[in-house]
Amino acid sequence: MPLVAHIVDPATARIDPELSAEIGREEHCTLFARPELHDGSFPLLARLGDYDAGAGFSTGELEALIAEVERVAVLGGLDRAIIRFTGPFHSVCCSAFFQGKHVALCADRHPKA
């Protein structure tokens, strides 16, 4: 099952069914094999390092997360599957930021806000 990013309403914990982003285990392993994700350059994205644990980001963290996603997307040598994740994930994060919502990722499709 892929790791799925959802927009979550912080007040109700309701998931927005319209927009999500997915990354499979193989692509996740490829992305997190990059040393840049372990040297402190991407502290928010590094939270995604444990595929099975998932991750959550509050509204206040999204602006910095969006910047990290933009920076990681331009790293040389990224696999096309990773790029197919970073584009939609960027959209999820931007949408959540503008709506004042959170972003949650989990492998079981039931995120924790």
Q: Residue 108: its pLDDT value, please?
A: 65
Which segments in the chain show pLDDT lower than 50? 112-113
Q: Which domains does the chain have, with CATH numbers?
A: 3-106 (3.40.1760)
d(CA 106, CA 43): 18
Q: Residue 95: its pLDDT value, please?
A: 98
d(CA 14, CA 7): 8
First to last CA, the chain: 20
The pTM for the full model equals: 0.90
Give me the sign of the Cα torsion angle 46, 51, 56, 57.
positive
Q: Residue 113: its pLDDT value, please?
A: 47
Q: pLDDT (tens digit, 9 = 90+) per residue, 25-40?
A: 999 999 999 888 889 9
The closest alpha carbon to 31, from 47, 7, 53, 55, belongs to 47
CB 96 within 8 A of CB 59: yes
Q: Residue 36: its pLDDT value, please?
A: 86
Q: Please state, rounded to an integer, the average pLDDT across all residues of the chain.
A: 91
Cβ atoms within 10 Å, residue 56: 15
d(CA 68, CA 59): 15
What are the tokens at 30?
A: 């490829």
